[in-house]
Structure 1
Amino acid sequence: MRCLFVALLTGVLLSGCASTPQDPSGTWINQAAIEAAVKSGNLREALLAYGPNLEWQLDSPRQLASFSNGFERGEGRFKRQADGELRVHFYGDFEESLSLNNDELIQAQSDTWPEQRFVRAPTAPGPLAPPGSSFEQALYSAYLGGTWLIEEGLGQGGLVLFQADGSLQGLPGAERYALCLAGDCAAMSGEFDSLWLQLGDQGQSWLFELEGDQLRVFEALNRSQIDEMPNYYKGQQRWLLVKR
């Protein structure tokens, strides 16, 4: 009888532990968009197919939720529903629904966005890191990480390193870079992928094509009038980089 009581008590305790809701706190990134960009080489197409949201940050103790889409940030508060769903309410009286499925955070399809899936960021962002930085660092590392050889262009024969934090080594005339993810830069570059190269306080936009182990960087020429938003098209190829 005593053994039966112990067994029943153990079962109740284990059942209680198993039903404890998983804590969603932390940073979640859109890994599917990163993998699609790496596989196809076309960053804009991957972001359009698997976006628009690129990162979620959740804080359970304060019931705060925020998302980043590479251009803007939305902030709201969430409540856990009886079925475990996280209902996020944003200013302006609109809501999004999140749920946990094993190691994934799922954003349910809504009138605003399609269903999207996120995984935990490999490292926690620093306290001063801007919104979306975890996704950016994971993308930069997977998409342009490694060592590149300047096959053609200024600095031919040199080696180039694109770092996950946006720093750049070995490319003449540039020490920082940023990939265009959304917003005005995407509107200006249209069908092309673009990046920003900067040295000191000066920088400019460039268009690029990534195909396999080859990265081609082109001048971004503007066909718009001076009082219109720039509309870029490909100019002369400036660099051909080959991944080693």
Structure 2
Amino acid sequence: MFKPLLIGLALLGGCTQAPQPADISGIWINQTAIDAAAQGRPLLKTLSANGRNLEWDIDTRTARANASSAFEVDEGQLLPKAPGVWTVDHNGYGSDELQLKGQQLLQLPRKDLPGQVFQRPYPPAAEGTQWGNTFRQALNSAYMGGQWKILEGQGAGGTVVFNADGNLSGLGKSDRYELCLGGDCATQGAGNDTLYLGKGDVGDSWIFVRYGNTLEIVQAINHSRPDEVPQLSPGPRQWLLEKQ
């Protein structure tokens, strides 16, 4: 008399829903590059050594996946390939393959690009954040965050604070900074690491050298005419900072 009940339970067990596919929607950043740079290494060389892309912005609902480098966005169509694996078609101009592995999103290597590893940002990116800003703010926090003491230069003995959002205090009259991550600013600096320092809409490019916990900021001498693309080389030291 118990057989119908047992059969019924077996049928109910067979109706258990299959696991839902993982949703990779949202922003993923190249945390490996950030962690390497945070050790006090030269910035452009470190970013270059850890892959071209800095950030992925994915929306599975619209099947869109955009990869951000230091100077451009490659828009793509997201296509499921296998459980946990997707192909991104960049409108006929090449493709990438993404794979979810635990808490990491892997961009698999291809002939012209090495593989890369991406992670969710913490704290999570705010909705509507402009492309590339999530990576930049995470890098600012890890690479420039904390307090720096001025060892040499204007304001010696004082404290400089670089905030993740690009605000700055304690370094002359400047209240804004921006690290060069690649593109035109890197070309103009002839391979030297550069950053922008300014107040409001007025500012200049400077060359900096990072050695572990020390940061040297030197004048960037422009060897080009006013109507030419700037070509910068290191000049006299302006500040020497030490991270506290």
Q: Same fold (TM over 0.5)?
A: yes
More helix by share: 1
Question: RMSD over aligned Cα, in angstroms?
Answer: 2.1
Structure-2 residue corresponding to 1:161: 161
Structure-2 residue corresponding to 1:29: 29
**Alpha-carbon distance in 1 for matches of 2:91, 2:241:** 45
Structure-2 residue corresponding to 1:136: 136
Secondary structure of 2:45's partner? helix
Render the CA deviation track for 1:180-206: whole Å, top value 9, x for unaligned.
Answer: 001000111123111000111111110
Kindly indicate whether residue 151 of structure 2 is the aligned counterpart of residue 148 of structure 1. Answer: no
Read off the aligned partner of 1:13 and give its amino acid letter: T
Read off the aligned partner of 1:131 and give its amino acid letter: W
Kindly indicate whether residue 117 of structure 2 is the aligned counterpart of residue 117 of structure 1. Answer: yes
**Alpha-carbon distance in 2 for matches of 1:175, 1:142:** 19
Report the CA distance shift for 1:11/1:243 in structure 2 as closer, same or farther (over 3 A).
farther
**Alpha-carbon distance in 2 for matches of 1:22, 1:193:** 39
**Alpha-carbon distance in 2 for matches of 1:155, 1:181:** 28
Deviates more, 1:5-14 or 1:68-77: 5-14
1:77-226 matched pairs, under 5 angstroms: 77-226=77-226
Render the CA deviation track for 1:147-175: whole Å, top value 9, x for unaligned.
Answer: 11111111122211100000101111211
Report the CA distance shift for 1:209/1:217 in structure 2 as closer, same or farther (over 3 A).
same
Please tell me whether Structure 1 or Structure 2 has the larger radius of gyration of its CA atoms.
2
TM-score, normalised with respect to structure 1: 0.90
Which consecutive unaligned segments of at least 5 residues does structure 2 have?
none
Secondary structure of 2:39's partner? helix
Percent of residue pairs bearing the same amino acid type: 41
Read off the aligned partner of 2:182 and give its amino acid letter: A
Contact 2:78 2:88 in 1 (8 A): yes
**Alpha-carbon distance in 2 for matches of 1:93, 1:206:** 36
Kindly indicate whether residue 39 of structure 2 is the aligned counterpart of residue 39 of structure 1. Answer: yes
Contact 1:26 1:124 in 2 (8 A): no
Structure-2 residue corresponding to 1:55: 55
Q: CA deviation at 1:64?
A: 1.2
TM-score, normalised with respect to structure 2: 0.90
Structure-2 residue corresponding to 1:232: 232
Contact 2:22 2:84 in 1 (8 A): no
Count of paired positions: 241
**Alpha-carbon distance in 2 for matches of 1:108, 1:242:** 38
